[in-house]
């Protein structure tokens, strides 16, 4: 594990809930610094296997020299395809620890952090073409409004969207400082907090984080063996809601008010806990990043 790269959150809780079988095949969808993966490997025997996905090329340097590990430098939205390509049909458990790593924030030139001046980039996968600059320079006012409101909970999302569309006619929004200066007139409250929310929204959009999560969720019933567990850590209320609803209804369309439709559907996943697991006081003290982490676990029926 590389703690300078990222400190894993809810580590004991994830490992405990995955019920790891020594000879099983496990997937870590978000390898990062490899903190969770290392603990999974400790529980695996000689014949166990771990498939580790990460779409950020930087994560590869943390992959241990261990024959049981297969690193897949791809978006986890292609989970089933890359498992198949490697001769794997079904797995015994899966983890996704969503969002970005501390490493991605700390590398100023990647453009994730408001602390540095750098290009408005924010791509986790640098093979992708769409950057944060493309979003702020090409999206319509309505699209910007929606994403700042939904993904950033920015209080004056509409005003911010209107300002961006106005300012970009005359000013370059190519860099973080350029962007911050361009919208400085509409910042509300603490600027650090405000820009953190704005950047979170842009990051989620650039990396299509909600789209990737939905695609991952619908593949779970297909790739998990009966009895296999899935653990997902989210850091945003929209993500948590998607996971909660999918674990409960095995679909995104059903609501609690519609038990009738549920009874007609084959149940493939069952939530293990009603409430999400959150960080202990001890972990909160050690790692403030664990503050907004929510872990949900489900089992393949
Ligand atoms: C929160 S970090 C994971 C940290 C890891 N659990 C650890 O202990 O070090 C999230 C990682 O997942 C990767 N990631 C996020 N979304 C992804 C996706 N859709 N496909 C593949 N990798 C993704 C990011 O590049 C980042 O390295």
| Entry pTM | 0.96
> Is 145 assigned a ligand-binding role in the annotation?
no
Say if residue 63 is exposed, middle or buried (CB neighbours under 10 Å; 0-12, 13-18, 19+). middle
Distance 97 CA to ligand 1 centre (A): 6
Question: Ligand 1: does its nearest atom lie under 6 Å from the Cβ of 13?
Answer: no
Question: Ligand 1: does its nearest atom lie under 6 Å from the Cβ of 276?
Answer: no
Task: For residue 183, give the nearest of 163, 198, 200, 203 by alpha carbon.
Answer: 163
In a domain, 263, yes or no: yes
Question: Ligand 1: does its nearest atom lie under 6 Å from the Cβ of 92?
Answer: no
CATH number at residue 166: 1.10.150.170
**Structure confidence by residue, pLDDT tens digits, 242-257:** 999 999 999 997 555 5
**Structure confidence by residue, pLDDT tens digits, 71-114:** 999 999 999 999 999 999 999 999 999 999 999 999 999 999 99
Which protein residue has the closest C-alpha to ligand 1 atom 24?
A: 100
Residues 93 and 220 in one domain: yes
In a domain, 117, yes or no: no
In a domain, 1, yes or no: no
> Do residues 185 and 167 make contact, with C-beta atoms less than 8 angstroms apart?
no
Mean pLDDT of 35-54: 98
**Structure confidence by residue, pLDDT tens digits, 81-90:** 999 999 999 9
Residues 197 and 231 in one domain: no
Angle between helices 209-223 and 237-249 (to 10 degrees): 20
Residues 230 and 202 in one domain: no
> Is 35 assigned a ligand-binding role in the annotation?
yes
In a domain, 40, yes or no: yes
Task: Name the residue range of residue 247's domain.
Answer: 11-102+209-300
> Is 104 assigned a ligand-binding role in the annotation?
yes
Among 141, 175, 206, residue at a domain's last position: 206
Q: Residue 1's pLDDT is what?
A: 62
**Residue entry with tokens 């405990």:** 16
Question: Ligand 1: does its nearest atom lie under 6 Å from the Cβ of 75?
Answer: yes
In a domain, 34, yes or no: yes
Kindly give, in sequence order, each residue whose CB lies less than 8 Å from that of residue 237, ignoring residues fewer than 6 positions away. none
Distance 7 CA to ligand 1 centre (A): 12
Q: Which ligand 1 atom is the nearest neighbour of the CA of 11? A: 8
In a domain, 98, yes or no: yes
Q: Residue 3's pLDDT is what?
A: 79
**Residue entry with tokens 């959009």:** 205
Residues 249 and 296 in one domain: yes
In a domain, 4, yes or no: no
> Do residues 69 and 256 make contact, with C-beta atoms less than 8 angstroms apart?
no
Residues 147 and 268 in one domain: no
Task: For residue 195, give the nearest of 141, 122, 124 by alpha carbon.
Answer: 122
Task: For residue 91, give the nearest of 42, 43, 51, 62 by alpha carbon.
Answer: 51
CATH number at residue 266: 3.40.50.150
User: How many separate domains does the chain show?
Assistant: 2
In a domain, 115, yes or no: no
Q: Give me the torsion for CA of 102, 280, 52, 236, rounded to 10°.
A: -60
């Amino acid at each position: 594990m590389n703690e300078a790269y990222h400190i894993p959150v809810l580590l004991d809780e994830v490992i405990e809930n995955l019920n790891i079988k020594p000879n099983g095949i496990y997937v870590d969808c978000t390898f990062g610094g490899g903190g969770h993966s290392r603990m999974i490997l400790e529980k695996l025997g000689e014949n166990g296997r771990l498939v580790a996905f990460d779409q950020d090329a930087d994560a590869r340097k943390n992959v241990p020299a261990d024959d049981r590990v297969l690193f897949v430098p791809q978006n986890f939205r292609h989970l089933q395809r890359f498992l198949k390509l490697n001769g794997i049909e079904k797995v015994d458990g899966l983890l996704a620890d969503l969002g970005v790593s501390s490493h991605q924030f700390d590398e100023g030139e990647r453009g994730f952090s408001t602390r540095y001046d750098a290009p408005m980039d924010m791509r986790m996968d640098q093979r992708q073409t769409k950057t944060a600059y493309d979003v702020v320079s090409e999206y319509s006012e309505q699209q910007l409004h929606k994403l700042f409101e939904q993904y950033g909970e920015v209080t004056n999302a509409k005003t911010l969207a209107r300002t961006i569309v106005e300012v970009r006619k005359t000013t370059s929004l190519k860099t973080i400082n350029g962007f911050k200066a361009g919208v400085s007139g509409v910042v509300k409250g603490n600027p650090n907090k405000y820009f953190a929310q704005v950047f979170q929204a842009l990051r989620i959009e650039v990396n299509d984080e909600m789209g990737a999560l939905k695609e991952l969720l619908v593949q779970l019933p297909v790739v998990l063996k009966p009895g296999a567990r899935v653990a997902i850590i989210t850091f945003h209320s929209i993500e948590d809601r998607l996971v909660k609803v999918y674990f409960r209804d095995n679909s995104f369309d059903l609501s609690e008010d519609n038990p009738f439709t549920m009874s007609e559907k084959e149940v493939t996943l069952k939530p293990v806990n009603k409430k999400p697991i959150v960080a202990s006081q001890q972990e909160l003290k050690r790692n403030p990043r664990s503050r907004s982490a929510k872990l949900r676990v489900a089992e393949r029926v």
